[in-house]
Chain A
């Protein structure tokens, strides 16, 4: 039986919903002071510094690894640059045991949870210590220990999975939720729409976190959707929604903190749209100069989320220029040294090619492995023994 709560009208009226404009939640101005009327959020010094360190680490890691990619030491890389507040501010508002189902540009979330520099490097170089055994491409991290699902390349496929993971948490009676991150481009996939609908129907403890960073590779948002961003779609599914300044770490944290409460206490899923900007290229294979202007990039550089948070920390005297200098230097050193160690480690063993395809190695795979071994014995010089350099992805 079809029912609606709508009233009856005797005049044909159409609407595109534009009369309802979603505001953008902001707290922090670029100079580090709060907006007039904005209330300082409940964020203590330790947590604020943990967030800041993760943001700076992510920035340093990204700069260093993109440089390594340019030097041919690494096959592929993607930066989170410009979106550190959106990613880390939100993760920091969760419990560390809440599940994260990310898209790929969310390395900051892992950094916040304590993924070590060594763990990052082992994945990037796909060496024998990589948890994924060298199988997934760079930045497709995963950590069972830190509740971060291994990244999968096809876009938006993590979103329905997040709904299922969260449903499992609900059935198990856990007081935990799942957050899923995705870009505004990925939100065009059918998976996004289907997942949101199911989440409200099934009352699932999931937070949908959209990083609206202006671009999907070369495609600007104006080619992606006609609506005012991604957030208004929540209404169609009767989902709680908030739009937040993604470069404002306090606003992101506060919005996600409240969202988590709604999600965990009421099983009421929430959509958060964080308005931000992808300051770097899409990936190491991309050159944005063909599709956007330097001027536009510069304007967003002025809104750097890390600088904004630093100003706020310094205002409160939780952080100083000396602290900044010391941390930057130590992070740079650590990243460089760890990278040098990781790139020298051995690649995974030949036998790992065929394990984990099934729980036991099938006869066909065993035979294929034997043939391969026999071949490599005959042509040892044709196959490099150390973790060589790949050429790059998309």
Chain B
């Protein structure tokens, strides 16, 4: 995953990796432009458009009036007109005010036009909590977006993947929802996860959307997650190693398309599956992952699969309450122990 170029020793946060990928594409392709709230001179409240306004100016890096319906709807229109807009929905929690533009237009225009209209746009949006911002600023909603046909969905766990996926998303002729987790952004106040800040090559590169990565090899259990959850899994895998168990960690990177091959191959090897998801427990990613494995081959499992997911409740503010509810490494280890007992 890390590169050996000299530039590769330079570590970036996901925020800077996203900004760098965007800047490189904007230099190459005049059709690429950015719209959103506070993405101009401020550089985005999560830093992922920093520097773009200075380099490309206000026509291509547009602060918008506060109407997600207007600028996301407008992006669908611009994309249908051959442009390649990138728009930012500041918090995924706010999708409610603009969902029609997203799932009835962005996701369906190509299908209903018989393939005549392409909507090559990127919708970037922040996800995740852990820093006490409560249930209208902390959701993941991975399952919500992945459930709806017509848009690709990616959620990187580190800056290297973020840059490659961002470039791929801009190149992609499909609409891509780029979900970046706030705790991985490298902004101090969000409780930054160090493992997300990794070496990133300066030159442009793409990462294929729809390919998971085995980020740690093991043979006793497969831990599957995405974004911040991957780091919980890596910590849990370390703790399990100290107990003499070897856990494999699969980073999904993309939800749509979902790399079921990598998943199934890993579970075929380990025989045990724990899915870790900061999104709600029911009707979401964790259920889909388990179904994908079990409906393919139920005999590969030595124990019933388990999920460590967010309970089916709105995310509470009080730090103690939020920490009770969030997935973490201890809960993963605990789930593994229960699995081994049963």
Which A residues are within 8 Å of any B CB, using their own CB? 75-76, 126-127, 133-138, 140, 152-157, 185-186, 188-191, 216-219, 223-225, 285, 290-291, 347-348, 350, 352-354, 357, 364-365, 368-369, 372, 375-376, 378-379, 382-394
The segment out of B25-33, B132-140, B270-278, B295-303 that lies at the interface is B132-140
Given that A285-B189, A291-B42, A368-B281 are contacting pairs, would A383 and B323 also be in contact in the complex, using a CB cutoff of 8 Å?
yes
Q: Which residue of B lies closest to A216 (CB)?
A: B66
- Whether B322 pairs with A394 at a CB distance below 8 angstroms is no
Complex: chain A residue closest to B131, CB-CB: A391
Q: Is B244 an interface residue (CB 8 A)?
A: no
Q: A218-B38, A389-B319, A390-B317 are in contact. List 11 more A-B contacts (CB 8 A).
A: A152-B136, A154-B94, A155-B94, A216-B37, A357-B313, A369-B311, A375-B334, A383-B323, A387-B318, A390-B131, A392-B131
Chain B residues within 8 Å of A369, by CB: 311
| Cβ B133 vs Cβ A76 within 8 A | yes
Does the CB pair A223–B134 fall under 8 Å? no
The proximity string for B residues 330-342 relative to A, scoring 1 for CB distances below 8 Å and 0 otherwise, is 1100100000000
Query: Contact between B133 and A394 (Cβ–Cβ < 8 Å)?
Result: yes
Contacts of B129-161 to chain A: CB distance below 8 A: 130-137
**Cβ < 8 Å to A, chain B residues 117-137:** 130-137
Judge whether A348 and B133 touch: CB under 8 Å.
no
A138-B313 contact in complex given A75-B131, A152-B136, A217-B42, C-beta closer than 8 Å: no
With A154-B93, A291-B41 given, is the CB distance from A138 to B69 under 8 Å? Answer: no
For the complex of A and B, 9 pairs with smallest distance between CB atoms: A390-B132, A134-B318, A126-B318, A153-B136, A188-B65, A137-B134, A391-B131, A218-B42, A393-B133
Q: A217: which of B45, B134, B135 is its contact (CB, 8 Å)?
A: B45
User: Which of these, B69, B135, B316, B324, contacts A372 with CB under 8 Å?
Assistant: B324
Return the contact of A135 from the options B96, B282, B314, B324 (Cβ within 8 A).
B314
CB pair B132 A353 closer than 8 Å = no
**Min C-beta distance of B150 to chain A, whole Å:** 23
Say yes or no: B63 contacts A188, CB within 8 Å. no
Give the distance to chain A from B311, nearest Cβ to Cβ, in Å.
Answer: 4
Q: How far is the CA of A164 from the CA of B191 in the complex (A)?
A: 39
- The 25 listed contacts between A and B (C-beta, < 8 Å) are A76-B133, A135-B318, A136-B317, A138-B317, A153-B136, A154-B93, A154-B96, A157-B96, A217-B38, A219-B63, A347-B321, A353-B311, A353-B316, A353-B324, A364-B282, A368-B281, A372-B325, A382-B328, A384-B319, A388-B320, A390-B317, A391-B189, A393-B134, A394-B133, A394-B137
Please report the C-alpha to C-alpha distance between residue A347 and residue B318 in the assembled complex, in whole angstroms: 7
Pick from B42, B325, B328, B330: contact of A353, CB below 8 A. B325
Tell me whether B312 is interfacial, beta carbon within 8 Å.
Answer: yes
Among A185, A225, A393, point to the contact of B132 (Cβ < 8 A): A393
Considering the complex, give the chain A residue whose CB is closest to the CB of B331. A375
- Report the bound CA distance from A225 to B65 in whole Å: 7
Q: Is B207 an interface residue (CB 8 A)?
A: no
Instruction: Please name all residues of chain A whose beta carbon is closer than 8 Å to the beta carbon of B134 when the two chains form the complex.
Output: 135-137, 140, 153, 393
B320-A384 in contact (CB<8A): yes
Instruction: Check if A376 sits within 8 Å of B324, measured CB to CB.
Output: yes
Q: Which residue of chain B is the closest to A346 with respect to CB atoms? A: B320
Docked pose: A211 CA to B298 CA in angstroms: 60
Q: Flag B35-61 by CB within 8 Å of A: 1 or 0 each.
A: 001101110010000000000000000
Collect the chain A residues with CB atoms within 8 Å of residue B324's CB: 350, 353, 372, 376, 383
| Residues from chain A with Cβ under 8 Å of B67 in the complex | 188-190
Could you say which residues of chain B place their CB within 8 Å of the CB of A185?
Answer: 65-66
Judged by a CB distance under 8 angstroms, whether B168 is at the interface is no
- Chain B binding surface, main DSSP class: loop
**Which residues of the other chain, B, contact A134 by a CB distance below 8 angstroms?**
316-318, 321
Q: Compute how far the CA of A274 lies from the CA of B323 in the bound complex, rounded to whole angstroms.
A: 41
Count class of interface residues, chain B: 35 or more
Closest to B41 in A: A291
Residue among B64, B130, B131, B316 with most chain A CB within 10 A: B316
Contacts of B312 in A (CB 8 A): 357, 364-365, 368
Alpha-carbon separation in the docked complex, A191 to B191 (Å): 33
| B214, CB-defined interface residue at 8 Å | no
How many whole Å from A278's CB to the nearest CB in chain B?
A: 14
Interface residue from B94, B132, B320 paired with A391 (Cβ < 8 Å)? B132
A394 to B65, CA, bound (A): 18
**B74 CB within 8 Å of chain A:** no
| Cβ-defined contact, B317 with A137, below 8 A | yes
Select from chain B the residue with minimum beta-carbon distance to A75: B132
Q: Which of B41, B67, B191, B312 has the most CB of A within 10 A?
A: B67
Q: Whole-angstrom distance between the alpha carbons of A291 and B53 in the complex?
A: 12
B205 to chain A, nearest CB (A): 31
Q: How far does the Cβ of B290 sit from chain A's closest Cβ, in whole Å?
A: 16
Once the chains are docked, how many angstroms separate the CA of A127 from the CA of B68?
A: 34
Residues of B within 8 A of A354 (CB): 311, 313
A383 to B282, CA, bound (A): 24
A290 and B97: CB pair below 8 A?
Answer: no
B320 touches A135 (CB 8 A): no
User: Max chain A CB contacts within 10 Å: which of B40, B137, B311, B331?
Assistant: B311
State the Cβ distance, B32 to closest chain A Cβ, in Å.
Answer: 21
Contact: B42 with A137, CB < 8 Å? no
* A75: B residues at CB distance < 8 A: 131-133, 317, 319
Point out the residues of chain A lying under 8 angstroms from B136, CB to CB: 137, 152-154
Chain B residues within 8 Å of A285, by CB: 45, 189
Which residues of chain B are within 8 angstroms of A291 by Cβ–Cβ distance? 41-42
The answer to whether A186 touches B69, judged by C-beta atoms less than 8 angstroms apart, is no
Tell me if B265 counts as interface (CB < 8 A to partner A).
Answer: no
Smallest CB separation, B292 vs chain A (Å): 22
Question: In the docked arrangement, what's the CA distance between A156 and B94, Å?
Answer: 11
Residues of A close to B165: CB separation below 8 A:
none
Contact A379 B314 (CB under 8 A): no
Q: Which of B69, B189, B321, B331 contacts A348 (CB 8 A)?
A: B321
Contacts of A153 in B (CB 8 A): 93, 134, 136-137
CB-CB < 8 A to A135: which residues of B? Answer: 134-135, 314, 316-318, 321
Q: In the bound complex, do residue B321 and residue A379 qualify as a contact, i.e. CB atoms below 8 Å apart?
A: no
Interface residue? B256 (CB, 8 A): no
A135, B317: Cα distance in complex, Å: 5
Question: Does B294 count as interface, using CB distance less than 8 angstroms?
Answer: no
Q: Is B200 an interface residue, CB under 8 A from the partner?
A: no
A390 partner residues in chain B, CB cutoff 8 A = 131-133, 317-319, 322
Q: Which residues of A contact B319 (CB under 8 A)?
A: 75, 126, 347, 384, 387-390
**A368/B65 contact (C-beta < 8 A), A153-B93, A375-B331 known:** no
* C-alpha gap A226/B188 in the complex (Å): 36
